[in-house]
Amino acid sequence: MRKDLAPDLLRLKQKERNKSKKEKEEEEEEQGEEEKGIASMLPKDFQWGFATAAYQIEGAVDQDGRGPSIWDTFCAQPGNIADGSSGVTACDSYNRTADDIALLKSLGARSYRFSISWSRIIPQGGRGDAVNRAGIDHYRRFVDDLLAAGITPFVTLFHWDLPEALHQRYGGPLDRTEFPLDFENYARVVFAALPKVRNWITFNEPLCSAIPGYGSGTFAPGRQSASEPWIVGHNILVAHGRAVRAYRDDFKAAAGGGDGQIGIVLNGDFTYPWDAADPADQEAAQRRLEFFTAWFGDPIYLGDYPASMRKQLGDRLPAFTPEERALVRGSNDFYGMNHYTSNYIRHRSSPAAADDTVGNVDVLFHNKQGNCIGPETQSSWLRPCPVGFRDFLVWISKRYGYPRIYVTENGTSIKGESDLPRDKILDDDFRVKYYDEYIRAMVTAVELDGVDVRGYFAWSLMDNFEWADGYVTRFGVTYVDYENGQKRFPKKSAKSLKPLFDELIAAA
């Protein structure tokens, strides 16, 4: 563990002083044996690969009958995107599926997580609207080609790009009745169209649809409200539950002998108390985790929202009806985990503001002693902290009964990367180090903490449209030359992952 992350450093040092020499020797010997055991602790069928999202890479927004999404509309409004760009072209992956598959194969990826554009499948979005055959055919060919290349598809149904027509028609996920029904219908159309897919994800990071989209207004559709995020989050959970029930009842048995699985992807940053000796900060760090991750995880695994959220939000947090609770509870075959960074959390003494979404806390990168949680990146919210990854895996596992986990996103930006010449960008040692430390922290959690991790997806396969940051920020392991035909050039990090997983995955 990093010294600046030891949550109770002074007390731990005193404890060490009080230990006998024999106790210390025994602990050192045990630790050495543990470290020796972390050589190949991932199962031989461990799935690893890379992840992307439709709006961030596909481009071709007007091609083959695709309808507009809320991100098309949001990007067209001046001031919403850092560089004034959009996903109109992005990486042109809609027209370059063969290139992307060849790239995946060259990097040794076993799996690929990608999302489907709802607007390509049902351009107007609703259950009474026409289905676009060209969109279905595109994704069917793509799945077939991935499987032919020996790459397992993990398919996300919704990665933030709601059809604009549904937003205009009834507010999208603000509608408690229409949205879950339309999402279930869309899911059914895709399940039927792609029977060879065994691994399904309903929603990616519902928190990022709810809070930036309907609270702060920094993501599409750009609404600002103190109450709407909680409504949106609730309705997404119900829509997820409806889609899962549809899959289990009507599609799973027919898919490869019933070996399909479905779940939701939740994001989260791990938290440490700003003052490790202060019970109020300890409680605040837990509360932040509950507002960030347990907001969605608790209803699925435990049956209701965290008590800390109900206490702060009151009636603004919807209550589950008996039917909704039955749909949502138990609606995960696996836990999809997106994780990038950690924070120090300091409690606030004053009452929570009406628009507070984080649990009435300060979210910081430095603790009381002035220690920093990790080095700067291009992203203001992200600083590497590998031990936080291990601790978060353990926290999720203990809270939810040690579920099967897929790490569906993990990665980093690099400060000033886009300002460098291409040869310097390709030499991304900072990202290589990030992946090495984070993946080894994950393996430690598997070996020493009993965490059940079945797969890992690096974010991202390639540089792409990074939402409100446009093309200023790069997360890819592959450099994309946006100005010269979206040509792809693998970085050092892209080539580092196969040797690392070859080392860590048990031999067949």
3-state secondary structure of 211: helix
- Beta strands 487-490 and 270-273 are unpaired
- CA 476, chain centre distance (Å): 15
Q: Is 23 inside any structural domain?
A: no
Write out the two tokens for 388.
């936080």
3-state secondary structure of 381: coil
Quote the pLDDT of residue 417.
98
Residues known to be catalytic: 205, 409
Q: Is 342 inside any structural domain?
A: yes
Q: Is 30 inside any structural domain?
A: no
Q: The CATH number of the domain where 483 resides is what?
A: 3.20.20.80
Place of tokens 């959970």: 237
Q: Is 118 inside any structural domain?
A: yes
Identify whether the C-beta of residue 426 lies closer than 8 Å to the C-beta of residue 462. no
d(CA 386, CA 440): 9
Q: What residue ranges of the chain have pLDDT lower than 50? A: 1-37
Quote the pLDDT of residue 248.
97
Quote the pLDDT of residue 490.
98
Structural domain span for residue 69:
40-504
Q: Is 28 inside any structural domain?
A: no
Q: Is 10 inside any structural domain?
A: no
The DSSP secondary structure of 8-71, one letter per residue, reads: THHHHHHHHHHS-HHHHHHHHHHHHHHHHHTTS-B-TT-EEEEE--HHHH---TTSTTPPPBHH
What's the total number of domains in the chain?
1
Write out the two tokens for 449.
């903490």
Q: Is 8 inside any structural domain?
A: no
Q: Is 355 inside any structural domain?
A: yes
d(CA 406, CA 420): 33
Quote the pLDDT of residue 459.
98
Quote the pLDDT of residue 492.
98
Quote the pLDDT of residue 40.
58
